[in-house]
Amino acid sequence: MAANRRLCDPEVLVQAVRRFAGKRVLILGDLIVDRFVWGSVSRICPEAPVPVVEIKTESTRLGGAANVAANIRSLGGIPVPLGVIGDDPEGRRLREMFRSIGSKVGGLVVDNERPTSIKTRIIAHHQQVCRTDREDRSPLSGAVQMQVIGKFKKAIKTADAVVISDYAKGFISRSLLKQVLPKSKAAGKVVCIDPKMIDFAVYSPATVVTPNVSEIEQATGIPISGTRNLARAVKKILRLPGIEHLLVTRGEQGMALFGNGSRPTYIPTVAREVFDVTGAGDTVISTLALGLVSGLSALESAVLSNIAAGIVVGKLGTASVSTDELTEGIRNT
Ligand SMILES: Nc1ncnc2c1ncn2[C@@H]1O[C@H](COP(=O)(O)OP(=O)(O)O)[C@@H](O)[C@H]1O
Ligand SMILES: [Mg+2]
């Protein structure tokens, strides 16, 4: 806690959060529908040795890059998601959910060739029984990618920041990034990338890339334990030109910010209770991008995103943080 206070002035963070309102963030990534099916089990299936789940309720949530949009919105920004959906009920549901939170929907491209990505978790008695995924992870067709780039070129003009949220479902590719990243840089935009590919050269140029520890291990082939080897692995990545900062998310250990040349800053987690860590990475990248376009330095933005992540992991059911919660979190840490 005190460590976060030592890293930057809380009042500066509070003022920046006030400036989040109305900031436009272009989000490129894999849009996913997160579906939850809740039920109970009282018998085993006569046809196979599996439980029969009697469904009580169902709910859907914005997942993957769509959860980044939800986070941007709940922090007061205006999300402009750019991604593909299928010509199916789930695609229409996504569009509807975006509308209902006040997100833009003009960047959605309907791809007739692929289904909308949907992850269904079946939960009985507070326990996940199984998960089913429906998705097509093949790369976008040339025609669809051209449509996406057309929309990007329009949207970048009015955007404050660009977030790339790669969930390895086929939307983010080397060829897409080759178009999008140089254009974003030329337009002077902040670019934050949540990576999945092991070749980090594709993520350049960027303002901040936010891998977790295992993504860095895979990218560099260097095993990391605690802070051992971390700086060495990061150095290998930062040798690539064009990536200004690496913000390594370290789960229960918080995060570490590395910049070209400067020494790393370790930021300990501020989480008091941990209930649900899914989506914490989405909260990190959303807060980070909004911080960077609201006058904060990379370090201040990282500290703020760490506070936001510390709040979100303590929540069940929602995967985003409001400006009020964040302001309170700043004052309490
Ligand atoms: N178990 C945990 N305890 C406390 N904080 C956590 C925990 N898991 C995640 N966090 C917070 O959320 C941030 C992102 O989580 P992490 O798991 O590192 O990212 P990702 O979801 O991308 O793998 C961390 O930097 C930390 O601030
Ligand atoms: Mg991540």
56 falls within a domain: no
Ligand 2 geometric centre to CA of 61 (Å): 19
Tell me the per-residue pLDDT of 56-86, one tens digit each, with 9 for 90 and over: 999 999 999 999 999 999 999 999 999 999 9
194 falls within a domain: yes
Tell me the per-residue pLDDT of 232-275, one tens digit each, with 9 for 90 and over: 999 999 999 999 999 999 999 999 999 977 789 999 999 989 99
69 falls within a domain: no
127 falls within a domain: no
Return the CATH number at 97: 3.40.1190.20
pLDDT band of residue 126 (cuts 50, 70, 90) is confident
pLDDT score at 317: 73
Pocket of ligand 1 (CB under 6 A): 212, 249-252, 254-255, 269, 271, 274, 277, 280-281, 284, 306, 309-310, 313
164, 250, 277, best to mutate for ligand 1 pocket (most atoms within 8 Å of CB): 277
CA-based end-to-end distance of the chain: 5
Task: List alpha helices for the chain, DSSP H.
Answer: 2-7, 10-18, 65-74, 89-101, 142-155, 174-186, 213-220, 230-238, 280-292, 298-312, 323-332
pLDDT score at 195: 97
Q: Is the pLDDT of residue 1 over 90?
A: no
Ligand 1 geometric centre to CA of 240 (Å): 26
190 falls within a domain: yes
284, 309 in Cβ contact below 8 A? yes
Residue with tokens 């070129």: 153
pLDDT score at 177: 98
Ligand 1 atom with least separation from CA of 305: 27
Give the number of the ligand closest to the Cα of residue 209.
Answer: 2
130 falls within a domain: no
Tell me the per-residue pLDDT of 303-313, one tens digit each, with 9 for 90 and over: 999 999 999 99
Ligand 1 atom with least separation from CA of 214: 23
23, 294 in Cβ contact below 8 A? yes
Domain holding 220, by residue range, is 2-31+75-116+136-332
Ligand 1 geometric centre to CA of 72 (Å): 18
4, 218, 284, 285, best to mutate for ligand 1 pocket (most atoms within 8 Å of CB): 284
Based on the structure, what is the number of domains in the chain?
A: 1
66 falls within a domain: no
Tell me the per-residue pLDDT of 137-174, one tens digit each, with 9 for 90 and over: 999 999 999 999 999 999 999 999 999 999 999 999 99
Which residues are part of the catalytic machinery?
282
Contacting residues for 191 by C-beta, under 8 A, at least 6 apart? 161, 162, 163, 164, 181, 184, 185, 205, 206, 207, 208
Ligand 2 geometric centre to CA of 211 (Å): 5
62 falls within a domain: no
